Structure 1
Amino acid sequence: MRAVHNVEHLARLFADAGAAGVMVVDLPSHMAARWHDAASNVGLRTPRLVPRHTPDTALPNVIAGASGWLYAPASTAPTGYQGPLDIQALADFTQHLRAASPLPVVSGVGISTPALAARVAPLVGAVVIGTPVVRTLVTDPGQAPVLAASFAKALRPTTLTETRA
């Protein structure tokens, strides 16, 4: 018996596994509407990655059908980037996205340290930390909880009591 693999089947697999949403990066435009419909039919959100170089004229098409959030990479470099970030460019881009859509803006890519996470957090609704934790799991698994905790601490708002301590 041959398994049927299509967007409807894939959406059902994710929903059955308990996913809240699935962001498909580099989804061909001719598949976007079908994926959105399939995901929506099973209760999945369909966030969209919006490249910083997206022209204003293309923005409505890029964010059409997005639900859940818009993903604004903190860097224009590939996933796993560990260099400096242009925080002002990210701030400008997130403002641009907020003007184009009511969806929350989430950022990742290039947020390689807790200090960078703390600088990005005020600009967005959520920060995605992936590669630093994965790298640590591969190189020194025992340190992964410590690293994850340091990111969590950097992202937690500081209270007045903590600043006095």
Structure 2
Amino acid sequence: MARLFADAGAVGAMVVDLPDNQAERWQAAAKDAHLSTPRLVPRHLADTDLATVAAGASGWLYAPASTAPTGYRGPLDVPALADFTTRLRAASPLPVVSGVGISAPVLAERVAPLVDAVVIGTPLVRALMTVPEQAPVLTAAFAQALNPYATTEARA
């Protein structure tokens, strides 16, 4: 499967619910196919477990902005996310990416200084599914909120 992804042009694949007994096989196949294998890292892990999870990742670490499920639209505990990203950076040199719960441009703006990249998914999909003509407007609002945090390389 990893080779199929790579041949299709993928550079990485994050398998969120991969059972531990299959992780080694997936990691080896992905490495052979030159795919990054980022990991979603739960906030509740102890520091020693963070290091273990991080050691099994390549590419980046995914730090959920919320402990709620994907699609969450409530407030974010930004100080708790800041603490978590600090712990992740101590456990690994990999970039930290955050998503889940970033439902509005103002939330993206609050999360951006804490991480290396921000993922916006559900709000854009929801807009596409309900009011498609508003999706570009929402995308532009997220881009405007995140632009001050973009690196020169990312803007090129």
- The answer, yes or no, to whether TM exceeds 0.5 is yes
**2-side partners of 1:114 and 1:127: how far apart?**
11
**1-side partners of 2:140 and 2:9: how far apart?**
25
| Structure 2: runs of 5+ lacking an equivalent | 150-156
Moved more, 53-62 or 119-128: 53-62
2:55–2:92: 8 Å Cα contact kept in structure 1? Answer: no
- Deviation string 1:106-138 (CA, Å, 9 cap, x unpaired) is 000000000000000000000000000000000
Selected match of 2:36 from 42, 45, 52? 45
The answer to whether structure 1 residue 76 and structure 2 residue 49 are counterparts is: no
RMSD: 1.0
**2-side partners of 1:90 and 1:118: how far apart?**
13
The answer to whether structure 1 residue 149 and structure 2 residue 132 are counterparts is: no
Equivalent residue, structure 2, for 1:89: 80
Selected match of 1:98 from 89, 93, 97? 89
Equivalent residue, structure 2, for 1:129: 120
Selected match of 2:107 from 87, 99, 116? 116
Equivalent residue, structure 2, for 1:60: 51
TM-score relative to the length of structure 2: 0.92
**2-side partners of 1:114 and 1:125: how far apart?**
17
> What is the total number of aligned residue pairs between the two structures?
149
Displacement of 1:11 in angstroms is: 0.6
Identical residues among aligned pairs (%): 74
Displacement of 1:87 in angstroms is: 0.2
**3-state SS in 2 of match to 1:72:** strand
The answer to whether structure 1 residue 29 and structure 2 residue 16 are counterparts is: no
| Structure 1: runs of 5+ lacking an equivalent | 1-9, 159-165
Q: Which has the higher helix share?
A: 2
Displacement of 1:81 in angstroms is: 0.2
**3-state SS in 2 of match to 1:156:** helix
Moved more, 106-115 or 142-151: 142-151
**1-side partners of 2:45 and 2:27: how far apart?**
20
